[in-house]
Structure 1
Amino acid sequence: MTNPVRDLAEGAHRIAGGDFSQRIHVRNRTELGELGDSFNLMTDRLESYIEDLRRAAEENRELFIGTV
């Protein structure tokens, strides 16, 4: 049996290290389960925001190169 708090902490460390593929497997509907759901939603949004930033940076780079 795993410790849900430890799972969340390990997931948070992976996210902090740049691994945005990390998700928490929610096994129950307690407050810890809700926290796991919130963690996964936060991770989804971070992953999406970072991808948007990468796309915008690439577009800006292409525009800049086109003006030089």
Structure 2
Amino acid sequence: MLESASLEAWEARQADAADAEMGPDSLPVQEESPAERTGGQEILELGVLAASLPGLVLAAWIRGRKK
């Protein structure tokens, strides 16, 4: 009886150690819905536009100064 309890405890510790080694990278990845992907794409496009707009304004200002 004592040996089987010890064996079960040892197996449980081994399983816990294996789970701990797997870490968060091994968790299943949840797929995004099409609506979430579209929203992310819109945010990305707005970010690119916001980043490029000051660059375009600066380029136009520099070109205007050279004339």
Range of TM-score over shorter length: 0.3 to 0.5
Give the TM-score of the pair, scaled to structure 2.
Answer: 0.47
Give the TM-score of the pair, scaled to structure 1.
Answer: 0.46
Computing the radius of gyration from Cα coordinates, the structure with the larger value is 2
Higher RCO (C-alpha under 8 Å, 6+ residues apart): 1
- Higher helix fraction (1 or 2): 2
